Structure 1
Amino acid sequence: MQGKQTHQRELFSTIDLESFIPKDHLLRKVDKLLDLEFLYGLTEELYCVDNGRTSIDPVLFFRMQLISYLFGIESDRQLCRDVHLNLAYRWFCRIPLYQSVPHHSSLTRIRDRMGESRYQQIFKLMLLQWQKQGRFTGKQIVVDATLVKANASMDSLVKRENADPNARVLKQYEKRYHDFQHGKRKRRVANQTHVSASDPDATMVYRKGTDGGLKYKVHYSADVKTRIITDCYTTTGSTHEGPILPDRIDYLCNEMGFDVQEVIADRGYGRGPTYSAFRQRKIRTYIPLHDARLGKGKLTPTEFRYHSETDRYQCPEGYFLYPYEKLDNGMIKRYRITGGHCRQCPRRADCLPESAKNRARFVYRSPHQHEIDKVRVRQETRAFISKMILRKWTIEGLFAEAKQFHGLRRARYRGLQKVSIQALMTAMAQNIKRIVKQSPSIYWLLKKYLSLREEILKVQNYLNYFRRIPKFFPHEAVSA
């Protein structure tokens, strides 16, 4: 018998949104995990106490932002539409069916009002909550950085000498770097000569294996065992990651209270000042040296003898390398063989790298050469190599996940502070996904067992104390 559905619009209906949400839904697990009551105190000073209309609940705003980054919704307009239609999103945001969703422009205003500093505090408070729960330790830290495409085109480049990059009139009359006829040479551009009128904070980056353009750089540090992101820091794309590493580890130790004992990073962080800084902090590092291509051949720099009296090196063939130039603001010296001796040297094939067969060999020397020599020996050991293998899938996998599923491949907003907000929210979304997947038997049950055991021992000690007093337990005292 064929069925036929009849439809009559209901004037009144009572619906329990929670009954529609599967028990294994991600948002149901996230809802059990989160405790966002601290947001009211964190944002209290942004609102007037006794004047103005009632604002959007800051917890509601943050829950909507979490949905955006957990499910890769990059547009505020699309986010509001999805929350309006998706029952799971409505339930997570505590929005009944009869209540309207906040307007997308309100989300933008609230985000700008909160600023980067409050997002950083939210990220910090969440980490401290999870650390108290025993979710991670933070003793072993792996660090790395990735480039994020800026929300600006190379067409927006203008000359720096024209001062105000925000002036729209300047963009109309400025001849851009590629607006030349065919057959003419393109104008060279660099961060020192040009700036983006759309996003002045974005800088040009050209790296082998990647597309050149305007970019930002996001720095992650993560716990090795759990892969929970412990620090997220955003800089311009041209900022080198090496010099800022000691400061970020100091932030974890001083501001977050972590007991960092080990740091793992790639060769981009391999600098003499970095090794010395961590040696003073008594933190063990697994960071390979950042050797230059022309300064590294089959003959290692350790085979070149240094004469401190004359400040020169001597190669295995007896020729001397003299100071050639200073790098890194005079902190590093480069020594080079002069006189064309390398061209006639019988060990030329073993000494010079493949990319510099027609050049002379040179060697670097740093004020931190003692630390560099130690690392040069350590980086060939099996333990060091295993740490480098561990680093690849631990931290680089986080960046791949952030770009593939959470929209970090390209900046949503413009400006360093707003891109930093995007990076912080992405890191929070990744952390939440890992926390909800952790088995409670590993952390919660063990902690409860240990606390219960301590209470039992206290009760036993309390009873044993009174058993030693005859007037309370005369028979037990005599028998004892």
Structure 2
Amino acid sequence: MLLQQQKMQLSSYTELYDLVVPKENLLRKINELIDFSFIYEELLNKYCLNNGRNAESPVRMFKYLLLKSIYTVSDMDVVERSRYDMSFKYFLEMTPEEDVINPSSLTKFRKLRLKDTDLLNLLIGKTVAIAIEKGIIKSKSIIVDATHTLSRSNPFSRIEVLRERSKLLRKTVYQFDEEFKTKMPSKNIENDVKKELEYCRELEKRIKNEASISEIPAVKEKLNLLKELVEDTDEQMIYSKDADAKTGHKSADSSFFGYKTHIAMSEERIITAAVVTSGEKGDGPELPQLLEISQENGMEVDTVIGDSAYSGKENLKIASAQNIKVVAKLNPSITQGFRKDEDKFDYNKDADRFVCPAGHLAIRKARQNRKNVGKNQVDTYYFDTEKCKVCPLKEACYKEGAKFKTYSVSIKSDLHQDQMLFQESDEYKEKSKHRYKIEAKNSELKNVHGYNRAIAYGIENMQMQGAMTIFAVNLKRILKLM
């Protein structure tokens, strides 16, 4: 029975689709591009085939979630729109007269059917396979970066988030009816979640009672989002707690509370791999996994393009072993050292010693860190402290009472030497020009598809959101390039 539900039922009205859903319609193009039966095959073991009532088609349920990602709407709005939008009905393989699902079915589908499914890799792998099959991916480079997503509870209290959502609803209402302010309930001014929930319910009730306002699509969308939030807060009562989210840093004085999605993308702007982590994780350590997943998905990689976070020694080793070039600047501390010019000592090549600013030659040197233990070796030069004690420059150089005065220089590994030479090449400079593309892709994910904030709690839900969003973005990109 489940398999039969995957097919559009016969209807005398089906020909309407040819009249009202044009060939250039995005949803028609997606339906023609991809065979969604792979979803049925992936989720088949999540259904009981010989007991209970008939389930909704897993392919149709998946398509509902895809529509949510493409158009950034609530569960209620995506179902409501599929009631009257013929392009939605066509995409969902419904007959024109067929009724829609209950919005609560989408929550059950996410929790019961998609749980424990590696949806992220499945969907990215599918789109990459299509892009390769269609000859869209021709490059052998992956561009890597990470984008942050705020936790659903980031990091405001329940009251702050409820107030922000109700504020957006009021502002939208006032755009259409400024005088509606007189009909609004009195705001809750106490720091009491229950009273804030009561205010939100009363606000929702008064707007719903005015059909001339509540039926305006923009108002209805904000109204449904507030309703979902109120229900979720009522159920969870821990709205400000997201156990999997962590605080990460965008800069020395800028932080966020949420998740990171580490992304690899081809030069044609097709995302080839993604890894979702909590917000505090570093970018560089995720490169090996991004590279491996991209290769498993069919990408042939000879170059990795990224920022300096990806130029760590372990990444250079992994890339070198596969003859992959890394177009990422080395940390300035490796190429230039940490010291300012005025703090640097001069090197005397004849004596193989450093000379301090006062002209004193080091009396001996020692090499620290054994070779091939994962750390750069360091040459440490020792100076005569008896001279330092009476030196006119000692205040800026010598600490009173110190037994030793040393000057250390990091010895660059062969990997670092090779990378420094590569950084000066024309090939490096040409390839580095492609890095902006992934920043534009991150912007698209956030500003067009709502990826700037998590829509549910927990890293599993964040992975699911990432899977649907990246799948939608990749399909749109493939269609554009075709």
Scaled to the shorter chain, the TM-score interval is: 0.5 to 0.7
| 1:269 matched to 2:268 | no
Q: Secondary structure at the match of 2:332?
A: coil
Provide the C-alpha distance between the structure 1 equivalents of 2:80 and 2:271, rounded to a whole number of angstroms: 30
Give the aligned partner of residue 20 of structure 2: 20
2:248, 2:281 within 8 Å by CA — same for their partners in 1? no
1:22/1:298 Cα in 2 relative to 1: closer, same or farther (>3 Å)? Answer: farther
Letter in 2 for 1:154: P
What are the equivalent positions in structure 2 for 1:312-461 lying under 5 Å apart? 314=354, 331=375, 344=393, 364=410, 369-392=413-436, 394-439=437-482
1:28, 1:92 within 8 Å by CA — same for their partners in 2? yes
2:120, 2:466 within 8 Å by CA — same for their partners in 1? no
Q: Secondary structure at the match of 1:90?
A: helix
Give the aligned partner of residue 90 of structure 1: 89
Q: Secondary structure at the match of 2:250?
A: coil
Provide the C-alpha distance between the structure 2 equivalents of 1:266 and 1:315, rounded to a whole number of angstroms: 36
Give the aligned partner of residue 46 of structure 2: 46
1:204, 1:214 within 8 Å by CA — same for their partners in 2? yes
What are the equivalent positions in structure 2 for 1:27-426 lying under 5 Å apart? 27-73=27-73, 75-112=74-111, 113-115=113-115, 116-137=117-138, 139-155=140-156, 198-208=241-251, 211-224=254-267, 226-253=268-295, 255-292=296-333, 295-296=337-338, 314=354, 331=375, 344=393, 364=410, 369-392=413-436, 394-426=437-469
TM superposition shift of 1:405: 0.2
Provide the C-alpha distance between the structure 2 equivalents of 1:56 and 1:196, rounded to a whole number of angstroms: 31
TM superposition shift of 1:24: 2.2
Q: Would you tell me which structure has more helix in proportion to its own residues?
A: 2
Provide the C-alpha distance between the structure 2 equivalents of 1:273 and 1:122, rounded to a whole number of angstroms: 29
Q: Deviations over 1:254-312 (max 9, x none)?
A: x32432111111111111111111111111221111235994467699998799xxxx9
TM superposition shift of 1:23: 2.9
Q: Unaligned stretches of 5+ in structure 1?
A: 1-11, 158-171, 173-194, 349-359, 440-480
Q: Percent identity between the aligned chains?
A: 24
Q: Unaligned stretches of 5+ in structure 2?
A: 1-10, 159-191, 193-237, 398-405
Letter in 2 for 1:235: T
1:306/1:258 Cα in 2 relative to 1: closer, same or farther (>3 Å)? Answer: farther
Q: Secondary structure at the match of 1:88?
A: helix
Structure 1 range deviating more: 18-27 or 297-306: 297-306
1:135/1:322 Cα in 2 relative to 1: closer, same or farther (>3 Å)? Answer: same
1:302/1:89 Cα in 2 relative to 1: closer, same or farther (>3 Å)? Answer: farther
Provide the C-alpha distance between the structure 2 equivalents of 1:20 and 1:198, rounded to a whole number of angstroms: 46
Provide the C-alpha distance between the structure 1 equivalents of 2:261 and 2:428, rounded to a whole number of angstroms: 25
2:308, 2:328 within 8 Å by CA — same for their partners in 1? yes
Structure 1 range deviating more: 111-120 or 227-236: 111-120
1:126/1:381 Cα in 2 relative to 1: closer, same or farther (>3 Å)? Answer: closer
Q: Secondary structure at the match of 2:241?
A: coil
Q: Deviations over 1:134-173 (max 9, x none)?
A: 221462111111111111233569xxxxxxxxxxxxxx9x
1:313, 1:335 within 8 Å by CA — same for their partners in 2? no
Q: TM-score, normalised by structure 1?
A: 0.66
Letter in 2 for 1:54: N
1:295, 1:361 within 8 Å by CA — same for their partners in 2? no
1:211/1:325 Cα in 2 relative to 1: closer, same or farther (>3 Å)? Answer: farther
1:45/1:379 Cα in 2 relative to 1: closer, same or farther (>3 Å)? Answer: same
Letter in 2 for 1:71: Y
Provide the C-alpha distance between the structure 1 equivalents of 2:338 and 2:328, rounded to a whole number of angstroms: 17
Provide the C-alpha distance between the structure 1 equivalents of 2:343 and 2:468, rounded to a whole number of angstroms: 45
1:29/1:330 Cα in 2 relative to 1: closer, same or farther (>3 Å)? Answer: closer
Provide the C-alpha distance between the structure 2 equivalents of 1:343 and 1:147, rounded to a whole number of angstroms: 52
Letter in 1 for 2:302: Q
TM superposition shift of 1:249: 1.0
1:63, 1:93 within 8 Å by CA — same for their partners in 2? yes
Give the aligned partner of residue 169 of structure 1: none
Q: Deviations over 1:154-199 (max 9, x none)?
A: 3569xxxxxxxxxxxxxx9xxxxxxxxxxxxxxxxxxxxxx99621
1:203/1:304 Cα in 2 relative to 1: closer, same or farther (>3 Å)? Answer: farther
TM superposition shift of 1:221: 0.6
Q: Secondary structure at the match of 2:118?
A: helix
